[in-house]
Amino acid sequence: MIGTAVYFLVIIVLGYAVLCAILHRARLPLFEFIPLVVGLGLGFAGTFQFWLSLLGLKPSQSGLMVLGVTAGILIRRSIASGKIVRIQSPADKISPGDKTITVLAGIPLFFALLIVLVHALGHGMYEWDAYMLWGFKAKVLSTNAIRDAGYFSDLNFAMLHLNYPLMIPFLMAGINGAAGEMLEILPKLIFPIFYLTMGMFLYSGLRSSLPVWQATALTTLFLTGPHILRWSGSGLADVPLAAFYSGAILQLIKWVETENSPDLLLSGIFAGFCGFTKNEGLLMVLLITAAVCGVLIYKKCASLFPQLLHYGFGVAVITGPWLIYRRQLPKVDENYLAHFSVATISENLGRLDFIAVSIIESISNWQNWNALWIILGVLAAIRIRQTCQLTNLMLWGLLATHIFAYALIYLIGPLNPDGLMQATLDRLLIHVSPVALLIVGRYCSGICGADAWSKTPRRSV
């Protein structure tokens, strides 16, 4: 237990060190500060452990010490040069009425977190994909450095998708390493933490344009959704992926509205984490890259183009080593790209009706998502003019192309989409739903007349 506590302390210190290195002298509201620190900490803890493992060091207490001490030195240097990120005190007082409504709206969150904790820490790995794809790899990486682990080249385990990204296994293995023993349940603690991080990212995104209680209510609406609750503590990587994606999108929105290059760098880093968490994360990298290019073209501002390098650097640093390493691993997954051809698409066009109906059925079932998608549809219909604003257009573009890309995967995939969609669609829609929530938040702020930047003071230097 002490080892786990130290592990999470190191994650926080690491996240803060990276944040200070990127956002010199910034002041952030607490609700923005916490998810950034935790999100960066988790992402870099997984990434650094992968790098150490490539060097022959499996996750261990000494490796953890190296990470903690390095992060500590970085923070010390930031303090010495006065480049630290501080928490900004809230500028506006909340009225007692708003406070009561906020608490009322937030109470279900407490129970939701309890449920996620029960799923995560009350049980071992019970989901097929959870232990097959992530739990097993975590055990392997706990006992061997990746370069020494025969598992990754053992064709008898081909069905375990040996070349799947390793962010989650490394984060789980880190807990085993910190404890100095192989634990069955405690490594699953990372899942409730990702659930909370995703919630805090989304709250932070909503809070930038909405008053406290509305942001709380929408966050609660999202986090208590049956599909989110069902998978958050199960040991699958979908919610962690959605958490990193939320971070990438929020930083992207901020960059679109402020044009500060560190925001774009952060967006690139979070997009990189997505690529190292699940294969679908590589699609997210492509989507965000397209969005960045689209915004640059729309703004027609040549001076902004060099900022693309910041974004590219963030993505490349995180995903580059992994993509290079995975080239030597046996390619035994579905390899959807190989099926991507006009011939396959035209051959499988008959699936299209079924795929479209399945997606519409899932998102229009108000109980699946706590009416999130229905609210989005209604607001989009009554606020059509607001949709044409740059940030909203970008978010809609991301949402639509993301869903379209998943539909395309079902269309070209070698497996019949019937059973596959039943097993995976709700999990894939978890990846997309944070953007849907952020669009809802922006519509709400438009309707209620809230000014995006007047409700909360932003970063200052």
Partner 1 sequence: MERNIAKSDVTSPGLGRNQLTRVISAVILVVTVYCSWLSIGTNDFNRHMLAQLLGADAENSHYDYSLKWDVFYAFNFPDGNLFIKFNGLDPEKHKNFILSQYIRASYNLYPRKVYVTTLPVELTDSASILQNNAISSESWLTANGVDSIVTFSLTSNGDQAYTITRTKQPSQ
Closest CA to 53 of 162, 185, 171, 193: 171
User: Which residues within the stretch 109-138 sit at the binding site for partner 1 (CB under 8 A)?
Assistant: 111-112, 115, 118-119, 122-128, 131-132, 135-136
| Nearest-approach distance from CB 270 to partner 1, in angstroms | 20
Length of the chain: 461
| Nearest-approach distance from CB 125 to partner 1, in angstroms | 7
Q: Give the nearer residue to partner 1 in terms of CB position, either 21 or 115.
A: 115
- Rounded to an integer, what distance in angstroms lies between the CA atom of residue 216 and that of residue 210? 9
Would you count residue 1 as binding partner 1 (CB under 8 A)? no
Stretch that binds partner 1, among 45-53, 55-63, 337-345, 366-374 (CB under 8 A): 366-374
| Nearest-approach distance from CB 182 to partner 1, in angstroms | 8
- Rounded to an integer, what distance in angstroms lies between the CA atom of residue 282 and that of residue 290? 12
Look up residue 413 and give its two tokens: 């995939």
Would you count residue 180 as binding partner 1 (CB under 8 A)? no
Would you count residue 456 as binding partner 1 (CB under 8 A)? no
Enter the DSSP assignment of 164: S
Would you count residue 22 as binding partner 1 (CB under 8 A)? no
User: Which residues within the stretch 182-241 sit at the binding site for partner 1 (CB under 8 A)?
Assistant: 209, 213-214, 217-218, 220-221, 224-226, 229-230
Q: Give the nearer residue to partner 1 in terms of CB position, either 130 or 274.
A: 130
Q: Give the nearer residue to partner 1 in terms of CB position, either 337 or 461.
A: 461
Enter the DSSP assignment of 153: G
Question: Could you tell me the maximum CA-CA distance found in the chain, to the nearest angstrom?
Answer: 64
- Rounded to an integer, what distance in angstroms lies between the CA atom of residue 119 and that of residue 96? 35
Would you count residue 65 as binding partner 1 (CB under 8 A)? no
Would you count residue 445 as binding partner 1 (CB under 8 A)? yes
Closest CA to 175 of 109, 238, 235: 235
Q: Give the nearer residue to partner 1 in terms of CB position, either 132 or 352.
A: 132
| Nearest-approach distance from CB 216 to partner 1, in angstroms | 9
Residues 6+ apart with CB under 8 A from 31: 200, 203, 204, 207
Contact 248, 286 (CB under 8 A): no
Q: Give the nearer residue to partner 1 in terms of CB position, either 180 or 226.
A: 226
| Nearest-approach distance from CB 353 to partner 1, in angstroms | 27
Look up residue 300 and give its two tokens: 């027609």
Would you count residue 302 as binding partner 1 (CB under 8 A)? no
Q: Which of 58, 139, 207, 402 binds partner 1 (CB under 8 A)?
A: 139
User: Which residues within the stretch 389-418 sit at the binding site for partner 1 (CB under 8 A)?
Assistant: 389-392
- Rounded to an integer, what distance in angstroms lies between the CA atom of residue 36 and that of residue 201? 8
Q: Give the nearer residue to partner 1 in terms of CB position, either 6 or 109.
A: 109
Beta strands in 76-187 (DSSP E): 86-88
Look up tokens 């995976």; give the residue: 424
Q: Give the nearer residue to partner 1 in terms of CB position, either 283 or 450.
A: 450
> Residue 28: phi, psi to the nearest 5?
-125, 145
Would you count residue 140 as binding partner 1 (CB under 8 A)? yes
User: Which residues within the stretch 74-113 sit at the binding site for partner 1 (CB under 8 A)?
Assistant: 101, 104-105, 108, 111-112
| Nearest-approach distance from CB 69 to partner 1, in angstroms | 30
Q: Give the nearer residue to partner 1 in terms of CB position, either 283 or 436.
A: 436
Q: Give the nearer residue to partner 1 in terms of CB position, either 258 or 279.
A: 258
Q: Give the nearer residue to partner 1 in terms of CB position, either 303 or 367.
A: 367
User: Which residues within the stretch 141-170 sit at the binding site for partner 1 (CB under 8 A)?
Assistant: 143, 155-160
Stretch that binds partner 1, among 12-20, 57-65, 163-171, 362-370 (CB under 8 A): 362-370
Contact 234, 127 (CB under 8 A): yes
Cα separation values, 275 from 189, 203, 223, 268, 280, Å? 22, 23, 23, 10, 7
What does 304-364 look like in DSSP terms, one character per residue? Answer: GTTHHHHHHHHHHHHHHHHHHHHTTS---S--HHHH-SHHHHHHTGGGHHHHHHHHHHHHH
Q: Interface mask (CB under 8 A) for partner 1, residues 321-360, using x and -?
A: ---------x-x----------------------------
Enter the DSSP assignment of 144: S
Residue 253, CB-side half-sphere exposure with 13 Å CA sphere: 27
- Rounded to an integer, what distance in angstroms lies between the CA atom of residue 435 and that of residue 397? 10
User: Which residues within the stretch 240-259 sit at the binding site for partner 1 (CB under 8 A)?
Assistant: 257-259
Q: Give the nearer residue to partner 1 in terms of CB position, either 41 or 129.
A: 129
